Amino acid sequence: MASTISSPTTSRRRHIVRLCVFAAALLTLFYIVGVAGVIDVDDVRTAVAATGPAAPLTYVAVSAALAAVFVPGPVLAAGSGILFGPVLGTAVTLGATVGTAIITSLLGRRAGRESAREVLGAQRADRLDDQLERSGIWAVVGQRFIPGLSDALASYAFGAFGIPLWQMAVGAFIGSMPRAFVYTALGASIGDLSAPLAYTAIAVWCVTAIVGAIAAHRSYRKWRQPDLSNSPRSPR
């Protein structure tokens, strides 16, 4: 009887350990690639340029994979601007961004989905699934507007919590438009940061950061508010 009673607890602990290991692996990779910078993006850009007419598609694929292992997105977007200019470069950056969202979401779902549901419990997990089905796309869009938050890390988490793949792709495309233009345009104007294009990019970045900060603050306040609809009513 004791073993039967303790088995759900043991299973839950195992899933918690699995999620912790997954998070630790991501944070280690983030430090090695994103902070220590073991990958030279200049070398990547040179190799992509050597592919000739296929360079835009090559950069989409390579950039999507590199961002999934935490090469900084702004650096990759700037490289797209240097190679392809502000217009084609922005399209390339958006393509790579959607690719990264798909890759990281799939990996997050495979590595953490089962454990996340186990830790949350069936009832809360089902309720979260219903919420994500209705508004998951806007959660992804909103995250992309928040300054300083790693898109790849967030996408791994979104995948673990079960946001549908199509919502990840569409949300990443919509939410990444402003920053894709900003960093690609700055890369395209790297030789003349006093050009109107650079000033426009900086202005768009400022507006995006302000909107993201306000949206994050409002979402946090809403999350902190008690759910009055589920609270017991006092007898009359």
Count of all residues that appear for the chain in the document: 236
Average pLDDT over residues 190-211: 83
Please determine, for residue 133, whether its predicted confidence score (pLDDT) is greater than 60.
yes
Which ranges of 146-195 does DSSP label H, i.e. alpha helix? Answer: 151-160, 165-188
Average pLDDT over residues 204-229: 68
Give the C-alpha distances (Å, rounded to integers) separating 221 from 32, 155, 225: 34, 23, 6
Specify if 234 maps to a domain: no
Specify if 211 maps to a domain: yes
Q: What single DSSP character describes residue 226?
A: -
Specify if 229 maps to a domain: no
Is the pTM higher than 0.75? The answer reads yes
Predicted confidence at residue 7, as pLDDT, reads: 65
What's the total number of domains in the chain?
1
Specify if 89 maps to a domain: yes
Measured distance CA(176)–CA(56) in Å, rounded: 18
Predicted confidence at residue 236, as pLDDT, reads: 43
pLDDT tens, 55-93? Answer: 999 999 999 999 999 999 999 999 999 999 999 999 999
Predicted confidence at residue 221, as pLDDT, reads: 65
Please determine, for residue 39, whether its predicted confidence score (pLDDT) is greater than 70.
yes
Please determine, for residue 190, whether its predicted confidence score (pLDDT) is greater than 90.
no
C-alpha radius of gyration, the chain, whole number: 21
Mean pLDDT for all residues in the chain = 83
Specify if 47 maps to a domain: yes
Specify if 215 maps to a domain: yes
Q: What single DSSP character describes residue 218?
A: H
Domain carrying residue 212: 7-224
Give the C-alpha distances (Å, rounded to integers) separating 43 from 53, 104, 180: 18, 24, 21
Q: Tell me which H or E stretch contains 127.
A: helix 122-145
Cβ atoms of 144 and 116 within 8 Å: the answer is no
Average pLDDT over residues 177-195: 87
